[in-house]
Amino acid sequence: MTMRDVAVVGVGLSKFGERWDSGLKELMAEAGVAALEDASITSNDVEMIFGGTMASGSFTGQEHIAALMSDQLGFKNIPAVRIENACASGGSALRLGYMAVASGIHDIVVVGGVEKMTDVPSAEAGTALGGAGDQEWELFQGITFPGLYAMMAKRHMHEYKTTEEMLAGVAVKNHANAYLNKYAQFHKKLTIEEVLNSKMVSDPLKLFDCSPISDGAAALVLAPLEVAKKYNDTPIKILASEQASDTLRLAERESLTGIKATSLAAEKAYKRAKVKANDIKLAEVHDCFTIAEIMAMEDLGFYEKGKAGKAVLDGETALNGKISINTSGGLKGCGHPVGATGVKQAVEVVWQLRGEAGNRQVNGAEIGLTHNVGGSGATAVVHIFGRSN
């Protein structure tokens, strides 16, 4: 089957954070309208919507989110589908939108992601997020997601001598990037000492090792590359869209020091895009916890196993370092409204490749990667983007 090349021709983002001023509908509109305006299109041009959200029913009581997105953004009588794939819902929505355009079934597609997480107490939010794990064998036994990632961190420390300072370095770097991002939840720089002295959540992960509970939305407009310049002067081509899975429960994994689904999806993505890991100089990776970013850099092939932690402390992953990781601030600094995260990552990479990232611009950015994970690693989605000549 011949596949068409696909480009991102419009992007939009809401402010992330504790959005007491806005409900689910307002967040959708904030991001969606911005994306349509960026692509210079109207709702009449759109042929389908793919919306990512993980737990809208638990967080807000609202299900049937895809139809709500369509209604809220003024799309009439077009198909709209909700995608739930835990914290990888946004990345999965992007992949399905890409496939719809690449196959020729649709020409103009909107991909959105949204989550309104702060309207319930933290304990209820934790229960909702826990649905991304194995309820019977993990959550019912009392484990939490900080606990699952803490086990990965402990094993990584044991095998590779990774230190708590290396974990803290991820938080410091991502908060420094978020400080430069007007859409980010946090605009406070951190020090290694502040991270190390923050409250213990699940040893060795402390409060500042963990991504926050957030509200937010993100949106993209996709079109065939051959007509993309009709909508935007600087369309960004999707070079690859790949996804892989692993066991839902951590106890059945081959290793606790990496996420196999990430390495499998990345391998396929590099092959499809005809690039290598060392060609990537810009990446938004899934740093739900600081150890997750370190494992992601290794699973994506940017660093050998056990080497990523030191690279962080050496400044190699800082803005305009050897490889700029999480220029948006990542999940840790920008925020993690789970259904929106995978789409937000793509928005940031598009801005970077267009040269529109302002004071966090990566010099000479040509190729960018996004990496979105569901749960403790049972799902991983990798996209690679490039400038269109």
Cα separation of 146 and 206, whole Å? 9
Q: Counting runs of H as helices and runs of E as strands, what totals does the chain give?
A: 13, 12
pLDDT at 301: 98
pLDDT at 263: 98
Instruction: Count CB atoms within 10 A of the CB of residue 383.
Output: 28
Q: Where are the alpha helices (DSSP H) in the chain?
A: 24-38, 56-60, 65-72, 89-102, 122-130, 145-160, 164-178, 192-196, 260-273, 290-299, 308-313, 330-334, 338-354
Provide the CATH topology of domain 133-212+239-387: Peroxisomal Thiolase; Chain A, domain 1 (3.40.47)
pLDDT at 1: 64
Pairing of strands 80-83, 109-116: unpaired
DSSP-assigned letters across all residues of 293-307 = HHHHHHHTTSS-TTT
In this structure, what token pair is assigned to residue 43? 């709702």
Q: Which among 36, 10, 14 is positioned nearest to 24, based on CA atoms?
A: 14
Question: Are 30 and 68 a contacting pair, CB within 8 Å?
Answer: no
Q: Which helix (H) or strand (E) holds 113?
A: strand 109-116
Q: Which among 9, 200, 213 is positioned nearest to 128, based on CA atoms?
A: 213
133-212+239-387 matches 6-121+214-236 in CATH topology: yes
Catalytic residue among 106, 336, 371, 383: 336
If phi over 0 gives left and psi between -120 and 50 gives alpha, with beta otherwise, what is residue 286? beta
pLDDT band at 90 (very low <50, low <70, confident <90, very high): very high
Question: Are 318 and 117 a contacting pair, CB within 8 Å?
Answer: no
> pLDDT exceeding 70 applies to what percent of the chain?
99
List, for residues 148-186, the tens digit of each pLDDT value: 999 999 999 999 999 999 999 999 999 999 999 999 999
Cα separation of 311 and 289, whole Å? 17
In this structure, what token pair is assigned to residue 358? 């302002």
Q: Which helix (H) or strand (E) holds 240?
A: strand 236-245
Separation in Å, CA 59 to CA 13, 115, 119: 20, 8, 7
SS3 content of the chain, % helix, strand, coil (to 5): 40, 20, 40
| Domain limits, the chain | 6-121+214-236, 133-212+239-387
List, for residues 183-213, the tens digit of each pLDDT value: 999 999 999 999 999 999 999 999 999 999 9
Cα separation of 83 and 221, whole Å? 17
Strand order in the sheet with 6-13: 80-83, 48-52, 109-116, 215-224, 6-13, 236-245, 379-387, 367-374, 282-284, 324-325
Average pLDDT, the chain: 95
Told to judge if 87 belongs to the known catalytic residues of this protein, a careful annotator would answer: yes
Burial class (CB in 10 A: 0-12, 13-18, 19+), 30: buried
List, for residues 206-264, the tens digit of each pLDDT value: 999 999 999 999 999 999 999 999 999 999 999 999 999 999 999 999 999 999 999 99
Provide the CATH topology of domain 6-121+214-236: Peroxisomal Thiolase; Chain A, domain 1 (3.40.47)
Told to judge if 288 belongs to the known catalytic residues of this protein, a careful annotator would answer: no
pLDDT band at 142 (very low <50, low <70, confident <90, very high): confident
pLDDT at 133: 80
List, for residues 346-360, the tens digit of each pLDDT value: 999 999 999 999 999
Phi, psi for 228 (deg, rounded to 5)? -60, -35
Catalytic residue among 87, 210, 288, 334: 87
3-state secondary structure of 179: coil
pLDDT at 43: 86
